[in-house]
Structure 1
Amino acid sequence: MKFNKTLILIPLLIIMVVSLSGCITNDLFKQGETFESNGITFQYPDTWQVVNSIAEGSIGAVASSENPEISAVVQQVPSEYGSDIQEACSKNNVNLVKSPNYVNIQEAKTTVNGRTVLIHRYLVNEADGRQKEHVATWMKMDDGKMYVILFSTPLESYEAQRSSYDLIVGTFSLKNGTSNNGNSIFSELNNRINMFFSK
């Protein structure tokens, strides 16, 4: 009897997986709005808006509609910074440490969507006495170029805005490249199917 149930379940699961593969897209799981320009794409909170950035190498920028001091700017790292994210971040830090208003918090390598990134968190003491927290996420993409996503927020808003940072960095990809987000959905579905049959 158990063998017959398995024979019935296998075709049903195959049909379900094939059906879902045609139906599940990143749009189905989309959160917020999508930025697509200058060869990059990422999602950002729907309470944010696209803004212009005058930062050198800037290829995309978004900011909170409620507080423009909360923002994320994507920059293409100049080739003179080298070809390695650690080297590029170190060269950038040379200028940061010269400022008496700079306070280093943390620098660490981690993985986002299977890609090694370098995260540098630091504070800047503003002239009016307030502190602003910055998170610079350095990464090298499949086009061989390096990018940095600079997330900035008043210090007191950082914890409340972490999900915005996670959304932007977690969905960042090259526009013509493939995003890992859809693949992770299928991987999870495949893992669950394998767990079901291994019991």
Structure 2
Amino acid sequence: MATVQPSLFTQCADIATWTENVAGSADADGSVHPSTAVLSTGTNLLDHARPETSDGLAAAVSALAQPTDVADLYNGAMDQLSAACASTGLGDGFEKIGAAATPSPTPSSPEHYTLSVTGSGSANVVWTTADGSQQHDVTLPWTTTIPDDGTAYYSIVLAGTSTSGSAATIGCSISEDGTTFATNTSSGAYSTVSCSK
């Protein structure tokens, strides 16, 4: 049976969590006393490793099994993983152990998508993400914000249908933290507009 690989972002986030657990089992001198669960998690991550992370994970798991020089070997593996995960924004989130340990970075605030439907009167608004669909009858103009955790939304589809029988213009837009990805307008009685990202 084929193994499904997680997205690079998901794997890097899982590795960052695992490295926090490893660092929590380390003494200041770099000696490590990981629990069986921590070791098992590392092996599981390695079993499902993406090509970008497999070498760094193999080095990290191997380092934890060494009787000496654990910190140097493990921290070298963290450097490899940092480079592999740099494109996800998680490249600095890997805990090192011993003298080379550095404090964890403060997590940045999550980004958000802003979904907007413009016009006057009312509309039936539907939006769909990887997490499912939502539908609402709303008064225009209408705006909502949904979080972007970097993994959940592979695409967003926003549609609005004017419930007014009179000729009107209805518009939609999808933006993230001030950057607009999609806009569209439509005119006429009961007009429909859609935007997608």
**TM-score normalised per structure 1:** 0.20
Greater RCO (Cα-Cα under 8 Å, separation 6 or more)? 1
**Rg larger in 1 or in 2?**
2
**Greater helix share, 1 or 2?**
1
